[in-house]
Structure formats: structure tokens, C-alpha cells
Structure 1
Amino acid sequence: MNWDLEKAHWPHAQYSRFVRVRPHQWHVQRQGSGPGLLLLHGAAASLHSFADLIPRLTDRYDVMAVDLPGHGFTTKGSAMRSSLTSVSSDLATLLDHEGFSPQCIVGHSAGAAVALDLSLRLPDPPKAVVAINGAFAEFDGVAGWLFPMLAKLLALNPFTSLFFASTTTPRNVSQLIAATGSELSDVQLRLYYRLIRDRAHVAGALAMMAQWDLRPLIARLGDFDIPTLLLTGDRDKAVAPAVSRDAAARMPNALWKSMPALGHLMHEERPDLVAEVILDFLADPISAQTQGAA
């Protein structure tokens, strides 16, 4: 995406920086004070999805939000660095470059999987992780090989992203968001429209889909002992809340909490409620996990 053209429309643009750390040029926003808190968005989104959540966290935390490789305004420096392990490894390098050691990582959807994998890579692991509608499950049955294969074919076709971006309409975007079970404002929908109209962003999202493999992470869930809140929306149509419920059952220090009447983009629908739950958990994650188990 072209920052010069879009910055007037982008939330918290005054906090944006561009950081060149091989192999990517990262778009980063950082604001607030206190312990470090890292925000990681999901596939096909950008850090803009945390726009209304961030101000509710900055009184207590030094908040860093990052556009993942190929998404938003982060320019991907390698075609083969969009897998889960590559993204989390490159993020670890970025955090080291920035001298940012997060005490908590909050990830949404695919960003929640990145949060878990990244936590296992950092020399100073976070004290807590929050997964919002975490995408922790592989496709089942035929979809397990068919969907990734289609994503790879689409990603390899140089005209796919151009066609998709050029044919997208505001109505298409509205329908796409509604299909996740969430209801967003016109302002929020326009930001997604700007994203999906951008060829490079679409290509970045397709590359992530094509290279995504959760199997190694899923196999290690039982070893992940960092206190973790798995937060879901009852109306999520993109990732079933049962995915987080089942993941929490396999993790030794995890708490699953589902909230009514919210969909996949719950942190955009009700940032006030989501922030309250996150802050309560982070105030004493070990106690919260124990009380949830009781």
C-alpha cells in the first residue's frame, strides 16, 4: 500500500514508523507507557484492526502494533517468508532490533497462532498471551488438502491479486465482514475496503494462506505453559469457538472465555469490553487462570 496516499485515512498515523529489518520493511506503531504489549493482527487484516482497542491499553502498557509481512504497509522482502515459523522468527528479529521485550502478546485469529509460536522463540518469554478468536485448527477432511492447494495456486498466479483487488466493491467487503459474524461501522468497513483494493496486500494474504502450516504448533500445545487467555465471540462464523475451547483443554495454563453476541472481529465491534477482559486478565493472569479452572 502507498503510505503517502493512505496516511490521511489511517488510524493513529502519527505513531507510524517504517523499520528496515531484513528481509522486510516493517510498518510499526508504538504508543503508551509501561510494560511492553505486542498486538498481532490476523490474515488479510492489518494493525488498523486494533485502532479502537489501542487507546484503552496505553494508560497501562507500552503498546506496539505491527503489520505482518505483506500485509498493510509492511513490504515483504522475500516470497518464502510468510509461513507461521518464518513470520514469528522475523518478528523476533524485529523485536530484538527495536529493543522491545513484550510482557504480553495479544493476537487475533492467525495472529494468535503467531503469538504462541513467537512466545516460544523469544529469549525473554512474555508473562501472558491473549488469543482473540485464535485460528488453532487445521482444515478437516478434503478441505485439509484442497484449500491450501487452491491458495497456493492462487498465490502463484500473478494476476490473481490484481483481479481480486480490481473487482472488489464496498458491497463485497460488507458481505465478507458480515460472513465472519461481526457488524462493523461504515468507517471500519472503508478501511477494509482500502486494504482489499490493494494488490500487494491481497498477494500478501494469499502467500500467508499458501504457506500456513499449524501442525507443529498444534502438536506443542501441551508444552505451552505461559498463562494464556483464549477469548472467543459466540457469533464467530470464521473460527468456531470450540477451536479455542479445545486448545485451552490441551494447554496447562490456559483459560477459555466466550463472550455473547460478538463475532470474529469482536475487538473491533466492542473494544471497550474486550479491553476490559484483557486488562483484568493481565492484572493477575495466574490467578485468573486458577479461578477459571475452578
Structure 2
Amino acid sequence: MFERFYPSMSWAEHRPHWPHTQHSRFVKAGGIHWHLQMMGQGPCMLLLHGTGSGNFSWRGLLPTLAQHFTVLAPDLPGHAFTSRGPDGALSLPGMAEALRALTLQLQLTPQVIVGHSAGAAIAAHMALHMDSLARSTLIGLNPAWLPLPGVASWLFGPAAKLAALNPLSAWATAKMAAQPAAVAEWLERTGSTLDAQGLDLYTRVLSDSGHVHGVLSMMAAWQLKPLAARLHEIRNPVFMLIGAQDQTVPPALADQAVLRLPHAQQHRQAGLGHLAHEQDPVGTSQYILRCSKN
């Protein structure tokens, strides 16, 4: 019902400013109109961005990773240029199922899944529920695999639900994001400082009411407790790369995740925050490639 009031971002308007547009394509799968970028040759590597972002989050990593893999980087449902999809598509199981439909449509089976923040939760859910991914390598960048502690754990869901139901919330939030320096301040609260291009791209998505409404709806539908309860069942190779200054997903949660994933390995990126892979794309790419060889 909200698709009519909050459509996806306009590709014609933003294309001149988007990275790697020559690798963009639009695909219909699972009742969703997807924007994705594909690059490279070889085994498939699926890149899943976090809440509020888009596949532009991988702009600095794509050329390097594409030298070794067929890299598939979609905008998640409700984000940037990808439509919201049917009811339930913005929940964790819904997004995982939508991505299954997308990979089937493209006739690709990811051998490596790299997820940032909420994208890592989607990757873990896929590994638990899809037999074809039973041996795929999972790489979580500041992974949101466990519920956030403290006030955020009970405030996050209810506040997002109220905002998603209020037709004016996304519009008002987008208007705030369009104000000078607003997005820069929001990003700094994650523990990360981005370059001019990164700041411009986040300003574009966060000042678009369609994107913002998709983000709020995803947050309202998100439930991590069922995933957290089953993390110990994951038998895939698991690696975690953690920004030591992450102010969004506390690094201490990675230590707790390791207790539930006894085969997991983790590495800290000193001085970097929640968007560490955008701050240090070279170092992050090298880590991903090393893990992919194990």
C-alpha cells in the first residue's frame, strides 16, 4: 500500500552520480523489482549491505573482488532502487527468501556471502535455511547477529513500527537528512568518517522518502532473537571483521557471537567504525579474499 506513496528512488535522476553504473541491471524476481550490480568472473560472491545503505556501500571493494569472483551486489528490498516487494519481504526471513529467488533467477549459487551489519544476519539466515549454501563461506563485517543490548533492544522495534505506520515519518526524516551536515553527523555517530563521495551517496539515499520508508519498515519487521538462538547450528566457515570503534553494533557482541559459533574467527580493524569497509576498502578486500581461500 505504501509503494504508491513512497516509490523507489529514481534511477534516471541519480544514475549520473552512482558508482559502477556500467555494471547495473534491473531484474524481476520474487515479486520484487531489483537493482543490482554484477562484475567479474568465477565463483559467485554475494554482497549484502546493511540497513539504510545500498549496494553503493561496496563501491571501493567491487573492482578488487571482481578479479577473483562473479560479484553480485543487490540493493536490498525497500532500499535505494529496489522495490519493497510483497508483504513480509522486509523481515529477516522475507529478505532471505527474496534473495533466494533472485539467485535462482540469475542461476547463481553463492560460494561466499559477505554481509555488513544486518546484511550479515540475512547471510546467516540463508545459510541455516538453504541446503545449497551449506558449505558457503560466511564473512560478517560488523555483523548484527545478536539483539542490541540495553535500551536499544526494546526501543528499536516499537519506535520503528510507529514511524513506519505514520505516513509523515519517512518524509520528515528525509527532510532532516537534506539539511547541510545532517548526514555527516549521523555517520559520525556510527564511529566512521567517510570521504566526499560516501557522504554524497548517503545524503542522496537518506534524503529520499521512499528509501527512508523502506528502512523504517525493515526495522519494524526485524527480529534477531530467533536467529541468535540458532547461531550454534551454523556449520559453515565463518569469519568476522570488526571495526574496533563501531558505535552502532558494539564490538563486544562479536565476542558473544564467537561463543555461539565455535568455528568462527574474528579480526579487529583498529581506529575504524561501523562502516569500516567503506573507510578501508583495500584492507577489507584483502581480508575477504584471504578468508575466501580457506
Q: For the superposition of Structure 1 and Structure 2, which TM-score range results when normalised by the shorter chain? A: over 0.9
SS at match of 1:74: coil
SS at match of 1:277: helix
Separation in structure 1 between the aligned mates of residue 148 and residue 264 of structure 2, nearest angstrom: 23
Partner in structure 2 of residue 235 of structure 1: 245
Letter of the structure 1 residue corresponding to residue 246 of structure 2: D
TM-score, reference length from structure 2: 0.94
Partner in structure 1 of residue 157 of structure 2: 148
Candidates 170, 187, 191, aligned match of 2:201: 191
User: Does structure 2 conserve the Cα–Cα contact (< 8 Å) formed by 1:170 and 1:193?
Assistant: no
Partner in structure 1 of residue 140 of structure 2: 131
Q: Unmatched 5+ residue regions in structure 2?
A: 1-8
Separation in structure 2 between the aligned mates of residue 252 and residue 210 of structure 1, nearest angstrom: 31
SS at match of 1:130: strand
User: Does structure 1 conserve the Cα–Cα contact (< 8 Å) formed by 2:24 and 2:37?
Assistant: yes
Shift of 1:250: 1.1
Candidates 20, 29, 48, aligned match of 2:28: 20
Candidates 212, 218, 223, aligned match of 2:228: 218
Partner in structure 2 of residue 291 of structure 1: none
Separation in structure 2 between the aligned mates of residue 105 and residue 143 of structure 1, nearest angstrom: 27
Tell me if 1:161 matches 2:170.
Answer: yes
TM-score, reference length from structure 1: 0.94
Identity of aligned residues (%): 40
User: Does structure 1 conserve the Cα–Cα contact (< 8 Å) formed by 2:194 and 2:279?
Assistant: yes
Separation in structure 2 between the aligned mates of residue 196 and residue 184 of structure 1, nearest angstrom: 15
Tell me if 1:171 matches 2:181.
Answer: yes
Deviations, residues 122-180 of structure 1 (Å, cap 9, x unaligned):
33214311000001221345543332111100000011111111232240100011111
The aligned length equals 284
Q: Unmatched 5+ residue regions in structure 1?
A: 285-294
Cα-Cα RMSD: 1.2
Q: Which moved more, 1:123-132 or 1:104-113?
A: 123-132
SS at match of 1:159: helix
Closer/same/farther in 2, CA of residues 140 and 181 from structure 1, 3 Å limit: closer
Separation in structure 1 between the aligned mates of residue 140 and residue 212 of structure 2, nearest angstrom: 24
User: Does structure 1 conserve the Cα–Cα contact (< 8 Å) formed by 2:127 and 2:136?
Assistant: no
Partner in structure 2 of residue 263 of structure 1: 273
Separation in structure 2 between the aligned mates of residue 123 and residue 140 of structure 1, nearest angstrom: 32
Q: Which runs of 4+ in 1 moved over 6 A?
A: none
Separation in structure 1 between the aligned mates of residue 237 and residue 146 of structure 2, nearest angstrom: 20
Tell me if 1:38 matches 2:46.
Answer: yes
User: Does structure 2 conserve the Cα–Cα contact (< 8 Å) formed by 1:23 and 1:76?
Assistant: no
SS at match of 1:252: coil
